[in-house]
Amino acid sequence: MKKILIIDDEVNVAVLLSKFLTRNGFDVTTASSGNSGIEHLKKNEFDLVLCDYRLEDTDGREMLRLIKAQYPKTGVIIITGYSDIKMAVELIKMGAYDYISKPLYPDEILNTITKAIETRQALIEDDEAPTPVKVVKKQSVLSDGVVLGTSRASKELFRQIELVAPTNYSVIILGESGSGKEEVAKSIHMHSHRSGQPFIAMDCGSLTKELAASEFFGHEKGSFTGAFATKIGHFEMANGGTLFLDEVGNLSYEIQAALLRTVQERKVKRIGSTKEIDLDVRIIVATNENLLDAINKGKFREDLYHRFNEFIIYLPPLRERGSDIVLLAEYFLRLANEELGRNVTHFSPEVMECFMNYRWPGNVRELKNIVRRATLISEGSEITTKSLPLEISNYKMPAYEYGNQPAYGQPLYNQFQPQQDHRAELKEQRHDLKNAALEAEYETILRVLREVNFNKTKAAEILKIDRKTLYNKMKASNLK
Ligand SMILES: Nc1ncnc2c1ncn2[C@@H]1O[C@H](COP(=O)(O)OP(=O)(O)OP(=O)(O)O)[C@@H](O)[C@H]1O
């Protein structure tokens, strides 16, 4: 039986917790002060200590320091009366397994305790003593296939990811389309203690009203016409891990209400089932629209917004990320070479200058795409301006933005230089009809996306397809 020590000077809380944990199969000891807690620690070996932050004779930080020094394999969870992200991060860095704030939810406590004990067990088996919490890697370029960038904006972004990742806070990521919001969400997940659990991404923009509930909560076979088989919802799939809701502002008001209930109660019921499933899911949402505006217009629920708004990350557009453009372009060139079996080694200085000047309405997604196409159609080892679409190679910055110095070390690119569009050549490489049709579809989608600044809702309208179809086509042709 696993042994837990509760240190809390609020006797009612200690008694309630002790009864609840005993009922759930733990061997519980309580102490009403730091000193008596220390006495218990000297006499018995505990798997876990649940320690209140404010104690009459000491505080949670001191207790944590002492336990980590003298009983390094005992897990510590700190309980506080209010939620404070800075303190949470500090305690976790000092070696606390987690930090929970009052009011205490039984399921949350049980989940956290179980995980803390499992982690301790793994540590004992590996015969390792250090903190079970993963520390975010401090490298500046690549982590998990994500270019972290070296611009000031990227460094600040990284600092925020590092701050929030180890906590259980819900996060809102704000940023233009294609700026890398999903990559940020993945980084948060990968650097949290949930990294071994699923990361499930949902594009809320492509959910139809009819299917949304089923996608979120799942359904039982036969629960409505068309429910031919049991379906597991995204909440259930993400259990233990992170659920990422992209373009959350597009959800209907009704589904927002159901979402709020699920998040508050931490339980989910498949449609057509009476069985409640306990949930331990961290939620990260992303949006490229102003949710406060949506709240004012009655399109987004304020209570749901506050549930999500425990931490906000603003992701700057690519045009504001200076040196990152070079790093990203070089990274995408490597990816494209691998994917297409090419050996293009570098960009000409003029290309880099175009990249630095262009406004990138489609952000990182557009850059990735442009580099991939240029790699495909380039003839030698260098990507020159001939391989860029005219709108990029001919892009001229407004004079007030341009300044007098070349941006990338070499003479300014002459915008009147004759341009050759190699897309015709690319088409010639495609011999069969299916590829030609796909190529034409790709060109049309890309052109429309550019026209509407990569707004997928508008693009789907112009292309006369629904958002889900657009989303799938973008994914299939590597535009996503
Ligand atoms: N820092 C990065 N490193 C490597 N690839 C990146 C980075 N940021 C974005 N990308 C790539 O750019 C593309 C767009 O990124 P992502 O889907 O995360 O953007 P988004 O902001 O979520 O877009 P949307 O608003 O349209 O959902 C993806 O292919 C992604 O892999």
Whether the pLDDT of residue 438 is over 80: the answer is no
Burial of 302 (0-12, 13-18, 19+ CB in 10 A): middle
Lowest mean pLDDT among 22-26, 136-140, 346-350, 412-416: 412-416
Question: Do 223 and 368 fall into the same domain?
Answer: no
**What ipTM does the predicted assembly reach?**
0.98
418 part of a folded domain: yes
3-state secondary structure of 305: helix
Query: How far apart are the CA of 364 and the centre of ligand 1, in A?
Result: 6
Task: Using pLDDT thresholds of 50, 70 and 90, give the confidence band for residue 436.
Answer: low
Three-state DSSP at 351 gives helix
Q: Give the number of domains in the chain.
A: 3
Domain boundary pick from 126, 160, 179: 126
181 lines ligand 1 (CB under 6 A): yes
Cβ 361 under 6 angstroms from ligand 1: no
Does 478 map to a domain? no
Which pLDDT belongs to residue 57? 87
CATH number of the domain where residue 43 is located: 3.40.50.2300
Residue-wise pLDDT for 215-227, tens only, equals: 999 999 888 887 8
Dist. CA 354 → ligand 1 center (Å): 21
Sign for the CA dihedral angle at 274, 275, 278, 283 comes to: negative
**What's the CA-to-centroid distance between 479 and ligand 1, angstroms?**
10
Evaluate: CB of 364 within 6 angstroms of ligand 1: yes
pLDDT at 172: 95
Regarding the beta carbon of 249 and ligand 1, being less than 6 Å apart is answered no
Clarify whether residues 297 and 157 are in a common domain. yes
Beta carbons of 55 and 9 less than 8 angstroms apart: yes
User: How does residue 143 score in pLDDT terms, banded at 50, 70 and 90?
Assistant: very low
Q: Which amino acid is at 316?
A: P
Q: What is the pLDDT of residue 12?
A: 84
Asked whether residue 142 carries a pLDDT value surpassing 80, the answer given is no
Say whether both 340 and 380 belong to one domain: yes
Q: For residue 367, which atom of ligand 1 is closest to its CA? A: 12
Calculate how far, in angstroms, residue 324's C-alpha sits from the geometric centre of ligand 1.
13
For residue 178, is it within any domain? yes
Q: Identify the pLDDT of residue 111.
A: 80
Q: What is the pLDDT of residue 179?
A: 94
Which residue's entry shows tokens 């320690």?
Answer: 51
What is residue 122's predicted lDDT score, i.e. its pLDDT? Answer: 65
Provide the residue range defining the domain that includes 32.
Answer: 3-126
Which atom in ligand 1 lies closest to the alpha carbon of residue 288? Answer: 25
Q: Is residue 440 one of the residues assigned to a domain?
A: no
Question: Mean pLDDT, the chain, as a whole number?
Answer: 82
> Is position 176 within any domain?
yes
For residue 441, tell me if it sits in a domain: no
Query: Could you report the per-residue pLDDT of 341-361, keeping only the tens digit for each?
Result: 999 999 999 999 999 989 999
Is residue 219 located within the same domain as residue 261? Answer: yes
Judgement on whether residues 157 and 289 belong to the same structural domain of the protein: yes
Q: Are 381 and 345 in contact (CB under 8 A)?
A: yes
Q: How many CB atoms neighbour CB 97 within 10 A?
A: 24
Report residue 325 as tokens. 């453009």
* pLDDT 10s digits, 384-404: 999 999 889 887 654 433 333
Among protein residues, the one whose CA lies closest to atom 5 of ligand 1 = 146
What is the helix, strand, coil percentage profile of the chain, to 5? 50, 15, 40
Based on the domain organization, do 186 and 308 belong to the same domain?
A: yes
What average pLDDT does the segment 255-263 reach?
A: 94
Mean pLDDT of all residues in 133-155: 57
316 pocket-lining for ligand 1 (C-beta < 6 Å): no
The Cβ of residue 66 has, within 10 Å, a number of other Cβ atoms equal to: 16
Asked whether the predicted pLDDT for residue 324 surpasses 50, the reply is yes
Across 264-276, average pLDDT: 93
Instruction: Please report the pLDDT score of residue 369 as a whole number.
Output: 94
> Do residue 280 and residue 420 come from a single domain?
no
Same domain, 218 and 338: no
How far, in Å, from the CA of 76 to the mean position of ligand 1? 37
407-427 confidence digits (pLDDT tens): 332 222 222 222 333 344 444
Residues 25 and 83 grouped into a single domain? yes
Determine if ligand 1 sits within 6 Å of the CB of residue 372.
no
Give the number of the atom of ligand 1 that is nearest the alpha carbon of residue 203. Answer: 27
Residue of 365, 370, 480 to mutate, ligand 1, most atoms within 8 A of C-beta? 365
Expressed in angstroms and rounded, the spacing between residue 246 Cα and the centre of ligand 1 is 12
Residue where one domain finishes, among candidates 314, 346, 378: 314
Residues 82 and 164 in one domain: no
pLDDT of amino acid 432: 60
The CA 145 to ligand 1 mean position distance, Å, reads 11
On whether both 182 and 303 belong to a single domain, the answer is: yes
- pLDDT mean over 212-238: 89
The CATH number that applies at residue 293 is 3.40.50.300
Is 452 part of any domain?
no
The residue whose CA is least distant from atom 12 of ligand 1 is 365
159 occurs within a structural domain: yes
What is the Å distance from ligand 1's center to 49 Cα? 41
| 177 Cα to the center of ligand 1, angstroms | 8
Q: 244: closest CA among 276, 279, 285, 275?
A: 285
Query: Does residue 178 sit in the same domain as residue 305?
Result: yes
Q: Atom of ligand 1 at shortest distance to CA of 146?
A: 3
Residue whose token pair is 């209907």: 252
